[in-house]
Chain A
Amino acid sequence: MSPVETPKAVKVVKKSKTAPKSKKAVAPKIAPMQTLDIGDHHVTVGEIFSDKPKMTMRNINVFYADKQAIHDVSIDIAENEVIAMIGPSGCGKSTFLRALNRMNDTVEGCRVEGDIRMDGEDLYAPKLDVVELRARVGMVFQKPNPFPKSIYDNVAYGPKIHGLADTRVDLDEIVENSLRKASLWEEVKERLHQPGTGLSGGQQQRLCIARAIAVSPEVILMDEPCSALDPIATAKIEELIEELSQNFTIAIVTHSMQQAARVSHRTAYFHLGKLIEVNPTKQVFTMPEHPLTEAYITGRFG
């Protein structure tokens, strides 16, 4: 089943303009290899906002010391939506993704401005517990990074520290359910107490997904989750993304445009730290609205 052909009924409000731009001096360009400049007065085109948003981001600017990596980005992520973020290297898509669960907090000199909310709650409020936030907004990284522990402990770790399981039986159930949801149970049920690092790359990545979903997150962020995997393992993860979108909201950063086309409902195109276009995936790959999107997805940058 292809999500491109049967997009979920994500109702998205069409709006042609983002909020008015602030008259701030613009930082130097990040990626000098790109020659196409869109100027300072860019407005994102397409279906940027949703009337059923899970997360709302408004006027986001991200700086690394004095370099600005994200310029005034506003976007909604709808409930149970798979949104793909694409763009050339250095366009800021990963930086933007990391701003969604405050992973940038750990980066020296990184500063995030603007308003990011989940279900209306300000994620950058001073009183907010960041550890709890990262349980609600889980993350899967480019390289599978299981803990050097058993398969069972990898999945059980989160629920344990967040106090989600009172008894051993509860914990067993969470581990089994998570592994099942990550389509890994059948492959590992006989060796739950062997090290997670002994699995294949694709299995390790599914283990990391199981670990992320074990704490019942609301949103899962995926930063190039398949770039270290072979095509078969990639296909399994993509199949999994489709299944997970029944219960979770997923934002995925990917270098593979075909992957974005296959798994996502909406696609956001970033260029030089600016959000150029957000539209239903089936439109982006057949009839993009912005010429820069067209240039990127047809492979003509230079």
Chain B
Amino acid sequence: MAKMSFENHIMKQFDDELEEIRTRLMEMGGKVEQQVQNAVRAISEADSKLAEEVIIEEQVVDEMEVDIDTACILIIARRQPAASDLRLVMMVTKAINDLERIGDEAKKIANHAILLVEEGGSSKGYPEIRHIGASVSKMLANALDAFARFDADAAMSTIEEDKQIDLDYKTALRELVTYMMEDPRSISRVINVLWVVRSLERIGDHTKNLCEQIIFVVKGKDIRHK
């Protein structure tokens, strides 16, 4: 297996094009990461203004997706990429889809943040959300880092993080159900929290997909559903 490098094409322009989709994917990842962090912070700090920002910024993520997708289609049409180049382009088209979905989930979290602020803040500051939110943010950061370095091992260990997130999600569900049983007046608020944890769990799943795609680029192996 050759070292991952998208340089040294006879056509220099091709290097630039691959480098560009790679850079833009990183930018989009950075933006999405920030969206997730802000959405979670909007809840823990009861900041509905920040939540509104997240909702507005979601459009930027959508635009990034369309732009990168167009660039990928152009590369396929013009360069007929093969081998690692082909795997990179295919990976990027899939990865932007997952990132966009993560952006959607961040927007959903922001919507619930506004509802939670309206309901009146919690004295505890939603520990479940903060805990899972931190794990998910870290996982996403690790995935983007693995992509930046084309590090399949790092991507592999990042996938493992999703297992803990799924466990934490189940634990949180049980706790939240207990709250609702203990105090029926909390139901409407707890349901909002429930949707937020659910979104965070989904973000973990999309991040896992991202890691699988990194492994596909580097190793040429499809490890999905395995």
Comparing B4-12, B112-120, B174-182, the segment that makes contact with chain A is B4-12
Given A285-B83, A297-B83, A300-B10, 10 more contacts at CB 8 Å? A258-B80, A286-B82, A286-B86, A287-B87, A291-B1, A295-B2, A298-B84, A299-B11, A300-B8, A302-B8
Chain A minimum-CB-distance residue to B86: A286
Give Cα A286–Cα B86 distance, bound, in whole angstroms. 7
Q: Check if B220 sits within 8 Å of A287, measured CB to CB.
A: yes
Q: Which parts of B74-103 form the interface with A (CB within 8 Å)?
A: 79-87
Residues of B within 8 A of A (CB): 1-2, 7-11, 14, 79-87, 220
Measured CB to CB, the closest approach of chain B to A264, in angstroms, equals: 14
| Interface contact A298-B220, CB-CB below 8 Å | no
Inside 8 A of A258's CB, which chain B residues have their CB? 80
Interface size class of A (residues with CB under 8 A): 10 to 19
The 10 sampled A-B contact pairs (Cβ below 8 Å) are A257-B82, A261-B82, A286-B82, A287-B220, A288-B83, A294-B2, A294-B84, A298-B9, A299-B14, A300-B8
Complex Cα gap A301–B2 (Å): 14
Please give me the residue from chain B that is nearest to A284 by CB atom. Answer: B83
**CA of A214 to CA of B81, assembled, Å:** 39
Contact with B along A259-300 (1 / 0, CB 8 A): 001000000000000000000000001111001011101111
The listed residue (A257, A285, A288, A302) touching B10 by CB distance below 8 A is A302
* Inter-chain contact total with CB atoms closer than 8 Å: 43
Q: How many angstroms between the C-alpha atoms of A161 and B1 in the bound complex?
A: 52
Min C-beta distance of B152 to chain A, whole Å: 14
Q: A286-B220, A287-B220, A291-B2 are in contact. Are A298 and B80 (CB under 8 A)?
A: no
Are the CB atoms of B87 and A286 closer together than 8 Å?
yes
Chain A residues in 8 Å Cβ range of B79? 299
**Cβ-closest 10 pairs across A and B:** A287-B220, A291-B2, A300-B8, A297-B82, A294-B2, A300-B9, A298-B85, A285-B82, A294-B83, A299-B9
**Please, which residue of chain B has its CB at the minimum distance from the CB of A258?**
B80
**Which A residues are in CB contact (< 8 Å) with B84?**
294, 298
Contacts of B85 in A (CB 8 A): 298
Chain A residues positioned under 8 Å from B7 (CB to CB): 300
Complexed CA–CA distance, A291 and B84 (Å): 11
Chain B residues near A293: list those with CB within 8 A: 83
B residues less than 8 Å from A297 (CB atoms): 82-83
Docked CA distance A299–B84 (Å): 11
Among candidates B10, B14, B83, residue contacting A301 with C-beta atoms closer than 8 Å:
B10
Best-buried of B7, B79, B82, B220 by chain A (most CB within 10 Å): B82
- On chain A, the residues within 8 Å of B8 by CB distance are 295, 300, 302
A297 vs B2: C-alpha distance when bound (angstroms): 13
Specify which chain A residues have a CB less than 8 angstroms from the CB of B2 in the assembled complex: 291, 294-295
Q: Which B residues are in CB contact (< 8 Å) with A298?
A: 9, 81-85
A285 to B80, CA, bound (A): 11
CA separation between A285 and B83, bound complex, in Å?
A: 5
**A252 vs B79: C-alpha distance when bound (angstroms):** 23
Q: Mark A147-161, 1 if CB is under 8 A from B, else 0.
A: 000000000000000
Nearest-Cβ distance from residue A87 to partner chain B, whole angstroms: 15
Q: Give complex CA distance A254, B77 in Å.
A: 21
Q: Which residues of A contact B87 (CB under 8 A)?
A: 286-287
B188 shortest CB reach to chain A, Å: 52
User: Smallest CB-CB separation from A290: which chain B residue?
Assistant: B2
Enumerate chain B residues within 8 angstroms of A294, measured Cβ to Cβ.
Answer: 2, 83-84
CA–CA, A268 to B79, complex, Å? Answer: 22
Rounded to whole angstroms, the CA-CA distance of A258 and B81 in the bound complex is 10
CA gap between A261 and B80 in the complex, in Å: 11
Report A-chain residues with C-beta under 8 Å of the C-beta of B220: 286-287
State whether A299 touches B10 (Cβ < 8 A). Answer: yes
The docked-state distance in angstroms from the alpha carbon of A293 to that of B83 is: 9
CB distance from A286 to the nearest CB of B (A): 6
Minimum CB–CB distance from B95 to chain A (whole Å) comes to: 18
Q: Which residue of B lies closest to A301 (CB)?
A: B10
- How far, in whole Å, are A291 and B1 apart by their CA atoms in the complex? 6
Central interface residue in A257, A295, A299, by most chain B CB within 10 Å:
A299
Residue of A nearest to B5 (CB): A300
Which residues on B sit within 8 Å (CB–CB) of A300? 7-10
Nearest CB to that of B90 among chain A residues? A286
Distance in angstroms from A89 CB to nearest chain B CB is: 13
Q: Tell me which residues across on chain A come within 8 A of B86, comparing CB atoms.
A: 285-286
**Could you say which of B2, B10, B220 has the most chain A C-beta atoms within 10 Å of its C-beta?**
B2
Assembled-state Cα–Cα distance A257/B82 (Å): 9
A287–B80 contact, CB under 8 A? no
